[in-house]
Homo-oligomer: A and B are copies of this chain.
Amino acid sequence: MSQTRTETEQYLANNSAYAATFEGPLPLPPARHTAVLACMDARLNVYGVLGLAEGDSHVIRNAGGVATDDAIRSLAISQRLLGTREIILIHHTDCGMLTFSDDGFRESIREETGIKPPWAAEAFADLETDVRQSAARIKSSPFVPHTDQVRGFVFDVATGKLDEVVL
């Protein structure tokens, strides 16, 4: 490959191969009525880890897999408009969110840009505690109607296994 070719362009070449054998369209509502909220981490391939196929499940991801207001927005749309009923939370070992503090991250941005972000970074000190925090935020939200099937897991980046967190 040429030195000036971006990763994005290489992904686009992969897309041609994907489309060549693609069969669609599938229905809009998720066939298995699930929504996954997971960390954005590159090692956490949610499709592989859960055996998801196209059309099965909504997948919501952000830094940490945290139940932020935006994740609540997505879950509200997922359940209220598209019929999902189960929620699966996935954090993972060796997470970057364990390596800094909200205060430190915001202050470093202020030092560099002169502007402190108006949002918290949502860093955390303990994986299981933060899975429980996300579950608690979802269960206490008036905007997410179905919370009897919320389960939380920590993905082990060394073994590929999901370990359940007692909520």
Name A residues whose Cβ lies closer than 8 Å to a Cβ of B: 6-8, 11-19, 22, 24-26, 28-35, 40-63, 68-74, 76-78, 80-82, 86, 88, 93-94, 96-97, 99-100, 105, 108-109, 113-115, 117-119, 121-122, 142-143, 149, 151, 157-162
Contacts and interface: CB of A to CB of B under 8 A. Distances in A.
Contacts of A56: 42
A62 B51 contact: no
Contacts of A62: 60-62, 70-71, 73-74
Contacts of A69: 70, 118-119
Of all A-B residue pairs in the complex, the 10 with the closest CB atoms, nearest first, are A14-B51, A22-B160, A70-B70, A19-B160, A30-B42, A63-B74, A11-B50, A63-B77, A25-B158, A19-B161
Residue from A17, A73, A108 with most neighbouring chain B CB atoms (10 Å): A73
Contacts of A50: 11, 14-15, 18
Contacts of A6: 86, 149
A61 B59 CA distance: 7
Contacts of A161: 15-16, 19, 22
A137 to B, nearest CB: 13
B19 A40 contact: no
Given A77-B63, A77-B96, A142-B115, A24 B43 contact: yes
